[in-house]
């Protein structure tokens, strides 16, 4: 897996067999929390900068930065695309991402609720139904791309389910929004 699989602007070889995005509700949550954390964070920092001598002011200077950072990572993860083509599977954005190339794939285990991409070396990639919109089209796209897919008529093993980041990421974003609001309220009350 490489951090950047092609320089920006250079097209990938071949037509995509499938392109997928996060579920709409998850994308909306990430975008809204990001905008809120940014607005609340800037306001909190502005209010805190006026009261630098107040007790525990350092919390009001650090908390908004942390909240904005968490919201930015959540937004970035939810805006990433999954692209399946004859060369392998790519997760990322137009300008960069991670690729598991066809030559590195040992096999792909397709379960009813997840897909496990097993490389020759390195960690297995898990793609969960909870995370991807139109997940039912992922396995057929991999078959169209002639990737080595093995179908299993059961749910994914517990290890695959635990690596589904969707529920955890959404919960983290909700908590991050509350933390940003709490920091803003504390700055207003100073």
pLDDT digits (tens, 9 = 90+) for 101-114: 999 999 999 998 88
CA distance 26 to 41: 22
Ranges of the chain whose pLDDT falls below 50: 1-4, 7-13
Give the model's pLDDT for residue 9. 41
Give the model's pLDDT for residue 172. 95
Tens-place pLDDT, residues 120-143: 998 888 898 888 999 999 999 999
Neighbours of 103 (CB within 10 A): 9
31, two tokens: 């975008």
The SS3 assignment for 122 reads coil
Place of tokens 């609340």: 40
Give the model's pLDDT for residue 78. 95
Give the model's pLDDT for residue 13. 47
Give the model's pLDDT for residue 7. 47
Tens-place pLDDT, residues 163-172: 778 888 999 9
Pairing of strands 149-151, 81-85: unpaired
Give the model's pLDDT for residue 14. 62
């Amino acid at each position: 897996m490489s951090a950047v699989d092609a320089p920006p602007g250079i097209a990938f070889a071949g037509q995509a067999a499938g392109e997928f995005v996060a579920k709409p509700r998850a994308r909306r949550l990430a975008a809204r929390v990001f905008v809120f954390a940014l607005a609340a964070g800037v306001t909190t920092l502005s209010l805190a900068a006026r009261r630098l001598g107040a007790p525990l002011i350092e919390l009001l200077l650090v908390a908004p930065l942390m909240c904005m950072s968490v919201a930015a990572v959540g937004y970035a993860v939810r805006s990433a695309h999954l692209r399946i083509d004859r060369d392998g599977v790519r997760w990322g954005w137009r300008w960069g991402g991670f690729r598991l190339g066809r030559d590195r794939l040992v096999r792909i285990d397709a379960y009813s609720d997840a897909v496990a991409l097993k490389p020759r070396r390195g960690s297995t990639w898990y793609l969960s139904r909870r995370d991807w919109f139109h997940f039912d089209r992922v396995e057929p796209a991999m078959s169209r791309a002639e990737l080595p897919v093995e179908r299993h008529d059961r749910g994914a093993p517990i290890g695959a389910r635990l690596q589904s980041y969707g529920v955890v990421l959404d919960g983290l974003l909700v908590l991050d929004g509350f933390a940003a609001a709490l920091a803003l309220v504390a700055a207003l009350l100073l």
